[in-house]
Structure 1
Amino acid sequence: MTHKLPTLPYQMEELAPLMSQETLEFHYGKHLQTYIDNLNKLIPGTPYETLSLEDIICKADGAIFNNAAQTWNHTFFFQTLTSHSDVIPQKLDALLTSNFGSAEAFKEQFTKAALGLFGSGWVWLAADKEGKLFILPESNAGNPLTKGYTPLLVIDIWEHAYYIDYRNRRAAYIEAFWKLVNWEKVAERII
């Protein structure tokens, strides 16, 4: 199976000024494309050649895992963004409230985890098999699928995600992220 660059659900200039077209040209157009290209070079002749990204992530390790997970993680991240962030749907708001105290408390805890993640990685909102929501910081290419969890929301904490627009101001990037979240998409992912 040949993996391809996914189509964005918005135009590259639509997220500006919170996320510039230049950031998307590099982050989506170059970084993500490189992970996809690397994965396509690594899997021919292996047991992963015909597997979905999800199956590769759950079964592979090393370079194949890293490139598959980074492809999946980035795709998930980009599909979670929107130029017209909306109100949190009632069903999701109720779940965030029951798991974290309120949607605002969830955002505070998630922001704290994103600020506290040392180095590069991802911070996820995930659900376990019983539907309990939790925040999962993961280094490097970490992904909740490897633990049997359902990913609902993610922020990319690799510096390439924000350095063009925010330089070393990770907190400003995280603040902007909250204005770009497609809450309808997050709610659709609930089990």
Structure 2
Amino acid sequence: VIDAQTMEIHYTKHHNTYVTNLNKAIEGTEYADKSIEELVKGWAELPEDIQTAVRNNGGGHYNHTLFWEELVAPSQAKEIPADLEAKLVEAFGSVDEFKEKFAVAAASRFGSGWAWLVSNNGKLEVVSTPNQDNPLKDGLVPLLGL
């Protein structure tokens, strides 16, 4: 459970700043019409003068958007769907082993960063990224981020 003040700060300050700064970086460029996924995945191919802004702010925007979409109130938490549970067991041995590996990935990240459940060509993996980096840049599909 995350307290209301932390959520408010992340939503109204952090996420809002990422969106504002990303929009400033790509405003008036040919990249302004790109999807957030395209920007985050391909930041290294962008012009050098906007690479860092897109990497940091685009990543922060994408990561937080995914995070908000994942959230539910504790009272609304549901059972893991059977198909996902089967994939977690296949990949990690058990749901509890997945939870442990995910928790370790989150807790062991020095400084800021994210722990992710990703799909790597259909196989589930847990990875960690620094700062606002995102698994999209490595060809992975983020499914859950913390």
TM-score by length of 1: 0.69
1:53: which partner in 2?
36
Give 2:133's aligned residue: 142
Structure 1 residues 115-124 or 37-46, which shifts more? 37-46
- The Cα shift of 1:85 comes to 1.3
2:58 partner amino acid: A
Q: How does 1:17-36 map to 2 (within 5 A)?
A: 18-36=1-19
Residues in 2 aligned to 1:58 and 1:116: alpha-carbon distance in whole angstroms: 25
Alpha-carbon distance in structure 1 between the residues aligned to 2:41 and 2:86: 31
Aligned residues: CA RMSD: 1.1
Q: Please give the secondary structure, in 1, of the residue aligned with 2:89.
A: helix
How many matched pairs? Answer: 137
Which consecutive residues of structure 2, in runs of 5 or more, have no partner in the other structure? 44-50
Alignment of 1:61-72 (within 5 A): 61-72=51-62
State the SS of the aligned residue for 2:137: helix
Q: Which amino acid aligns with 2:139?
A: G
What does residue 44 of structure 1 align with? 27
> Contact 2:116–2:143 at 8 Å: present in 1 too?
yes
**TM-score (structure 2 length as normaliser):** 0.89
Following the alignment from structure 1 to structure 2, what is the Cα–Cα distance between the partners of residues 24 and 115? 19
Partner residue of 1:180? none
Query: 2:63 pairs with 63, 73, 76, which one?
Result: 73
Hey, which bits of structure 1, 4+ residues long, moved more than 3 A? none
Distance, in Å, in 2 between the alignment partners of 1:48 and 1:66 is 16
Q: Report deviation, 1:19.
A: 2.0
Q: Which runs of 5+ in 1 are unaligned?
A: 1-17, 156-191
AA aligned to 1:109 is: K
Write the distance in 1 (CA, Å) between the matches of 2:132 and 2:7. Answer: 19
Deviations 1:161-183 (A, max 9, x none): xxxxxxxxxxxxxxxxxxxxxxx
Indicate which of 64, 72, 88 corresponds to 1:82: 72
The CA distance in 1 between the partners of 2:41 and 2:28, in whole Å, is 19
Q: Secondary structure at the match of 1:69?
A: helix
C-alpha distance in 2, partners of 1:109/1:23?
Answer: 24
* Inter-partner Cα distance in structure 2 for 1:39 and 1:115: 28
* 1:45 aligned counterpart, secondary structure: coil
